[in-house]
Amino acid sequence: MNSFKEVFEQYQWDEVKTRLEKVTISEVRNSLQKRNRTLDDFLNLLSPAASQELELMANMTRALTQKRFGKTIQLYAPLYLSNECQNICTYCGFSLDNNLRRKILSDSELMIESTVLKSMGVNHVLLVSGEANKIVGVPYFQNAVRLLRPHFSNISIEVQPLKESEYKLLHEEGVHSVLVYQETYHQEVYKEYHPKGKKSNFYFRLDTPDRIGRAGIHKMGLGVLLGLEDWRVDSFFNALHIDYLQKQYWKSKFSVSFPRLRPAEGIIEPNFIMEDKDLLQLICAYRIWNEDLEISISTRENENFRNHIVALGATTMSAGSKTNPGGYAVDKESLEQFETSDERSMEEIKTMIKKSGYDPVMKDWDAVYSGV
Ligand code: SF4
């Protein structure tokens, strides 16, 4: 296989949906008892039938996560570089058709923002931007990484999908991980959510993790935007993608995130509501299927959910996040991409993690060992 597209095209959305609906409780129990689990087991654990075994799944998830990752939670914070975007995405505050004041951080503004993050104790920073390749493209990112690298032990990016050669350039600058979410694997409705701009090209986005893998980036993060489509079917396709990538790029590490659609200026309501118990089931299904996967929980989730998930599968959390460019210091009023739900400070999150009996980790040693 040369790209995930070849795998993807072997599956039909409606068939996966029907398979999920037909899973029986005995198939779920059989999957839970296995030593080595396959993607079919993931599907069983994701099914409506598996919700009956949620307590057992949660206990298994806690034990498996502690065995593989210890009682630690890695902490990071996003740094929004720009809200310029050439795409229309019907669920995002930065969408091209949303009339907002656009902003791109200058070098000096970037350094002011980074000083605030350092004062919060942040060592792992995620650089985020809208998708405006001509004005916030690879040269801008190279410069930003060069400026920030002396101050942070780990730099990740969540920006527009790039070419393989461009990922290589950013890798050379010191980018450790790249996050790219397909948003939804439902090809037809993908077009409706992304009517204009480069992002409307479903397959260019779908092939992005392959380009990241070929460029030798150390870690990649995948996910779907939960709320756009049936979360069970979308999550099966996301796991199918990870399964393929792990086999193809076995030197890379993988993380999965669970962004649930949040309110933002001028955006649509979720099409599919995902309850907290559904999200817990999804996290458990991922962990029980794949013990090595990093599981990242952002401030989109509410305080109560985040307090509980510390001991139930999470390995990474953002904290104290601002989702607007300049949000920490230089332009606090610029428009945010979405409203955060957990607004506690980094210190408060650290305290909460310690109270749960876990260690908050600010420095990602993994980045040191990988030589980035
Ligand atoms: S989701 Fe990304 S690409 Fe779409 S409008 Fe928002 S910033 Fe732009």
Q: Global pTM?
A: 0.95
How many angstroms does the Cα of residue 186 sit away from the middle of ligand 1?
18
Query: Which uninterrupted H or E stretch holds 237?
Result: helix 231-248
Q: Is the CB of 89 under 6 A from ligand 1?
A: yes
CA nearest neighbour of 207 among 230, 233, 239, 241: 241
Residues near 335 by Cβ (< 8 Å), separated by ≥ 6?
83, 93, 94, 98, 100, 101, 265, 324
Are the C-beta atoms of residues 272 and 186 closer than 8 Å to each other?
A: no
What is the band of 308 on the pLDDT scale with cuts at 50, 70, 90? very high
Between helix 39-46 and helix 276-289 the angle, nearest 10°, is: 160
Three-state secondary structure call for residue 250: coil
Mean pLDDT score of the chain, rounded to an integer?
Answer: 94
Ligand 1 proximity of 92 Cβ (cutoff 6 Å) = yes
Encode pLDDT of 105-140 as tens digits. 999 999 999 999 999 999 999 999 999 999 999 999
Q: Is 87 in the pocket of ligand 1 (CB under 6 A)?
A: yes
Model confidence over 70-111: pLDDT tens digits?
A: 999 999 999 999 999 999 999 998 999 998 899 999 999 999
| Closest C-alpha to 243, from 296, 212, 289 | 289
Output the CA 54–ligand 1 centroid distance in Å.
34
Binding site membership of 252 for ligand 1 (Cβ less than 6 Å): no
What span, in angstroms and rounded, lies between the C-alpha atoms of 152 and 244? Answer: 31
With bands split at pLDDT 50, 70 and 90, how would you rate the model's confidence at 272? confident
